[in-house]
Structures are given as structure tokens and as C-alpha cells.
A and B are shown apart, each in its own frame.
Chain A
Amino acid sequence: MSSEYHPKIIGFLCNWCSYAGADMAGTSRMSYPSNIRIIRVPCSGRVDPILLIKCFQQGADGVLVSGCHPGDCHYNEGNYHARRKFALLCDFLDYVGIGKERLRIEWVSASEGQRFVDKVSNFTKEMAKLGPRSES
């Protein structure tokens, strides 16, 4: 186990759903990998692509952006805009050699603590398998 790579993962979580979802996981005493460093944002639509590129530049192995399910946005349409933006960005990251699997977009609501745990565990496992970005 000790030889396994511990990836650094940055998570941008929407204040109104996924952040509360993570909170729910915590208060329900569910455990998930501590590799993820969570940053609370007001909406997944607020996450500018430069934040993600900057994360990769500064040594993150993976970045998770998590927002409300489409249709459930607190600001009505923030996550729809995010969806378009990140659909483009995913392909573009792949193209410039960062790899599309290192950017993950998930929809997690405030009540889905278990879903949050599953998504983070999965993502961490995949990133551990992929190894550090500088060597991939």
C-alpha cells in the first residue's frame, strides 16, 4: 500500500449542492480519500478555466468540478453554462497533452453524500493509477 501513489486532487464544489453534499458525507461519518482539497465556489458556472489550468500548472494531478444537477442550479442556469464550457475544455486539455481524464465534472446534490464519496473515491483511484502528471 505504501508504494501506491497519492495524487493531489483539487475539488471545486458548488456552495449550494456539492459542498453541502460533502458536508453530508462528513456528518454521516462516511469516509473518503483525503487526497482531495476542497475549494468552495458559489456555482460551478463561476469556475473559470484558468483556475483549472492553474491547478495543473501548480502540480495538481486531477481537478474535480462538481455542481448541481442540470435543472437544479441555485442561479437557474449557471451549471448549463458550465457544462458547455467544460465540454470544450475537456477535449482541449486532451489535445494539449494534459489528458481529459484528469478533469472530472460531476453533478452531486446536497443530499447525495454517498454519491460524493463514490465519485471522489473513484476519481482518486484513477488518478493514483495514472500517476503524477509530470511522468504521464
Chain B
Amino acid sequence: MDSELIQQIRNQARSLLESGEVKGIIGYERASDGLTARPFFAYEPAAVERLIFDETCTHNLTKYLLNKKTEKMAVVVKPCDSRTINLLLNEKQIRRDMVFVMGVACPGVVETSWNHKDGTLQARCKICQLVEPLVYDFLARHEAVERPQGEPYRDVQEMETKSVTERKDFWVEQFERCIRCYACRQVCPGCYCPECFVEQLDPLWVGIRIAPKENELWQIMRAFHLAGRCIGCDECEHVCPVNIPLSLLNHKLEKEVKELFDFQAGLNPEEQPPLTTFKKEERLGFEE
């Protein structure tokens, strides 16, 4: 654990709470297994001593901002999470003056599960292009951070080389296991509709039966609703209890949006999202 980095976060958090600038801090604390991290809300200056930051802090805490719109909160963000801040600003879900962004220059996070952490970086960290958050009010930084620059979308390209039948078999097998617990949706900072289409009863878009066809419909639409909006935090995949490779779906759409519309979500809060605009002269593979 990098104690100097943590000290910077705690000092900043304490001064924010003592001055009353924010109502609370959304950060990480040590989980009760003594090894991994869990989200933590600090409302008292004394509580900041519980804040930590290390390679097990995998959660995207910006999701909690959506429940805290009426009071100013400070949130600890990694560079990847900072793209969510931009996304939510872009979609007018949060106000910039109601959030204090405590950025952390992140050396990457590792795969964790209860009482267990891997020694290797998460797949998304291996291709991460960001060392510092894109947006922050305060930046905690200690050692110079170096990133392995992996090639993005390897997994998608591998999938694309397969035949349609192979892909179909692959996804049928994956979707079959889905228990539709909707954890992927609950954890996603981009999924904030007050009423999700899967819960609408009239019309009943998705049958309540937990069966391959209904699961397929849910999974395809979940991914597609995030087209051009997913910032690739892979939280959906982490929380999936049956380990469906959801990032494979998200990355595909991310890649398509980048190729077709030259757009990446969360890089610029002012940029017009690709599916809300158009160019008259583009063809996009369709004949006139």
C-alpha cells in the first residue's frame, strides 16, 4: 500500500469535511477480509482515517453520485472512472459544481474476489491509455506511473475472426447461464433510467421467464443501450455472478463507434454523443 498517496487523500478529505465544502466523501476502505477494498462514505472528519487506496480499489464509485444529486459530494476517481464523470456531465445527470473530484494517478488495479487478490493487472488496465484522470479538482500522486501499453480490442478482433455459427454457439452458451439478477445494470454508472425496459409490464418487452431467448434479448439490449456511452470500467463483468464476458459485448460496440463515428465516450463532456446526431453525407455502408 502506498502510504503517502493515502495520506494525501485523507488530508484532502479531512479539509473538505472540516471546511464544510462537501457533505461527504465517497471513497474506499479496507473490506472485512483485510485484503480487498469496498466503497466507503465518510461524513465525519474522524472517519477519513478509514480511507485507503491501493491496487484492489476496483469499483467505479461515480455510480453513487446519481443518488447524491442534492448535496455536494467528493468522490475518489481513478483515471478510468473520470471518464464516467464526463459522461454524466455530458448527459446532464450531475452538476459539476455539486461534485468535488478527488483524482488519483492510478498504477492499475488487479482482479479481486473475496479474500483473494491476483498479482496481475486487470485486462482493462493493460490497455489503459490514461495515467491521470481527465477531470479533477485535486490530484493525489506519488510515484511516476508507468503503464503497459497493450493493444486495445484484441479480444474483439479474436471474436470477429470466428464464423457467425461459432459466435452464435459461444453467446448462446454464455447467455444460457445468465440468471438475470441485473447486477450488471445496477452497478453500471450509465444505467440510470428510473424504469428499465426489462421491468416494464405493458408492453412486456422481455418475458419474465429466465430462459436463453429472454436472456439474449436482455443482454443484447443492455449492451446496445450503452453503445457510445460505455466507458469501459468493466464493473458489469466483475459483478456478474456467472462470469459472462460482458466486456466483450461492450468493447465491440466501443470499437464500432470509434470506427464509424470517431467517438469515444467520456473524453469530452461537451462533445455531442454519436447517436444523437448525424451527418447528411455519410453512407455507413447503406446504399442511397
In the complex, which of the residues A49, A91, A105, A136 contacts B165, with contact meaning CB atoms closer than 8 Å?
A136
Bin chain B's interface residue count. Answer: 35 or more
A60 contacts chain B at the CB level, 8 A cutoff: no
A interface SS class? helix
Closest to B213 in A: A57
Given known A92-B253, A92-B256, A96-B249, contact A80–B280 (CB-CB < 8 A): yes
Query: What are 5 A-B contacts with C-beta separation under 8 Å?
Result: A54-B217, A57-B217, A84-B284, A88-B253, A95-B252
Q: How many A-B residue pairs have CB under 8 A?
A: 92
Cross-chain contact B205 with A69 (CB below 8 angstroms)? no
Q: How far is the CB of B231 from chain A (nearest CB, A)?
A: 17
Per the bound structure, the CA–CA distance linking A91 and B282 in Å amounts to 17
Cross-chain contact A98 with B205 (CB below 8 angstroms)? no
Q: Which residues of B contact A80 (CB under 8 A)?
A: 278-280
Cross-chain contact A95 with B260 (CB below 8 angstroms)? no
Q: Which residues of B contact A89 (CB under 8 A)?
A: 224
In the complex, which of the residues B197, B252, B284 contacts A87, with contact meaning CB atoms closer than 8 Å?
B284
Report which B residues bind A (CB closer than 8 A).
159-160, 164-165, 167-172, 197, 205, 213-214, 216-217, 220-221, 223-224, 227-228, 249, 252-253, 256-257, 260-261, 274-275, 278-280, 282, 284-288
Given known A50-B205, A87-B285, contact A92–B220 (CB-CB < 8 A): yes
Cβ-closest 8 pairs across A and B: A97-B168, A87-B284, A80-B278, A97-B167, A99-B164, A57-B213, A95-B252, A97-B171
A53 contacts chain B at the CB level, 8 A cutoff: yes
Cross-chain contact A71 with B165 (CB below 8 angstroms)? no
Q: Which residues of A contact B159 (CB under 8 A)?
A: 95
A6 contacts chain B at the CB level, 8 A cutoff: no
Cross-chain contact A97 with B165 (CB below 8 angstroms)? yes
Per the bound structure, the CA–CA distance linking A55 and B165 in Å amounts to 19
Given known A57-B213, A105-B286, contact A88–B171 (CB-CB < 8 A): no
A74 contacts chain B at the CB level, 8 A cutoff: no
Cross-chain contact B286 with A87 (CB below 8 angstroms)? yes
Q: How far is the CB of A124 from chain B (nearest CB, A)?
A: 19
Cross-chain contact A53 with B220 (CB below 8 angstroms)? yes
Q: How far is the CB of A55 from chain B (nearest CB, A)?
A: 11
Per the bound structure, the CA–CA distance linking A85 and B285 in Å amounts to 12
Q: A83-B286, A84-B274, A92-B256 are in contact. List 19 more A-B contacts (CB 8 A).
A: A77-B278, A80-B278, A80-B279, A81-B278, A83-B284, A84-B278, A87-B285, A88-B224, A88-B256, A91-B252, A92-B253, A95-B159, A95-B249, A96-B167, A97-B165, A97-B171, A99-B164, A136-B165, A136-B168
Per the bound structure, the CA–CA distance linking A90 and B260 in Å amounts to 12
Cross-chain contact A97 with B169 (CB below 8 angstroms)? yes
Cross-chain contact B167 with A84 (CB below 8 angstroms)? no
Q: How far is the CB of A120 from chain B (nearest CB, A)?
A: 16
A107 contacts chain B at the CB level, 8 A cutoff: yes
Q: Which residues of B contact A88 (CB under 8 A)?
A: 224, 227-228, 253, 256-257, 260, 275
Given known A84-B261, A90-B285, A91-B256, contact A97–B164 (CB-CB < 8 A): yes
